[in-house]
Amino acid sequence: MRMVLTGCASGIGRHLTGALAREGHRLIATDIDEVALAGAAEREGWSAASVRCRKLDVRSESDWEAVMDAAEELLGGLDVLFNIAGFLNGAYVTDFTAGDLDLHLDVNAKGTMLGTRAAARRMVAAGSGHIVNIGSLASLAPVPGLSLYSASKFAVRGFTLAAATELGPRGVAVTLIMPDAVETPMLDKQVSQVEAALTFSGSKALTVEDITRLILDRVLPERPLEATIPAGRGFLARAANSAPALSGILAPLLAKKGRKRQEEIKNGSRR
C-alpha cells in the first residue's frame, strides 16, 4: 500500500516506517527536523526505493498540501495516512506557558486535523482510504500534571470520532489508537518531571514494537474505530472517563506509584 507517516525521525514513527517498508509498502516518511529524519533513514537502512523522506511541519497547511502532492507524484496516490507526530511537556495548570499551550494544541490537535483533512479530500475522491490517528489513554482520562496534553488528545479523539462518522460512508476508514506510555524520547523527557508521575503508574511502558504489532496485526487489516493498548489500562481509563469524579480518588494513588517508578528508572531500573 501507499502510505504517508508523520513524526518519523524518532519513536513510533521511525520504528513503524522500517516495519512497513519491510512488509513491502511504499512510504513517504516525514518530520519537521530534516536532519534528524535523514539520520534516521541512514541508521535504519531505509531503502530509497520504498521510503521517500520529506520535511513536514504538521502545523502548516501548505506543507500538508506539498506532501499530499508528493504522494500523488511519487506513489501514485495515498492509501493510508498515519498521524503520529506529537508534543508533550508536563506542567501544572498554574505553571504552563503560552508557548506550551500553542505547541500542544497546534502539533497534537491542529496537526492531526489538518493532516486528516488533506488526506480525506484525496481519499474521498478516490473512493477509499484509511486514516490512522495516534491518541493516548490521555484521550480518555484526564491526567493531572499533563492537562494540556490531555486536552489536546481529548480533542484528537472527538475529532477522529466525528471524522470517522462523516468519512465512513464515503469509503474512508478512520482509526484512533490510544496507547499507554511508550518507550520513546518523549517518555525519556518525563522521567524527571514530577508533573508527569501518572505516566509511570502502569506496570511497565509499552515499546514501539508493541505499537507496530498492533498496527500490523489489527489496525491495518481490521480498520477498527478505536484501539486501546494495553487492555487493562484502557479499561481503567474508560472507567475514569465515565465517572470523572473517580479521578479525584485514583489520581493521588496512581501518582504515588508513578513517582516511585520514576525514582527507580532514574536509579537504573528498566521501565
Cα 213 to Cα 219: distance, rounded to the nearest angstrom: 9
Task: Answer yes or no: are the C-beta atoms of 216 and 191 closer than 8 Å.
Answer: no
Question: If you ran DSSP here, which 8-state letter would residue 230 be given?
Answer: S
Q: Is 149 a catalytic residue?
A: yes
User: Catalytic residue among 149, 154, 159, 200, which?
Assistant: 149
Long-range contacts of 224-229 (CB under 8 A, 24+ apart): 224/175, 225/161, 225/164, 225/174, 225/175, 225/176, 226/175, 226/176, 226/177, 226/178, 227/175, 227/176, 227/177, 227/178, 228/137, 228/140, 228/178, 228/179, 229/177, 229/178, 229/179, 229/180
Catalytic residue ranges: 149
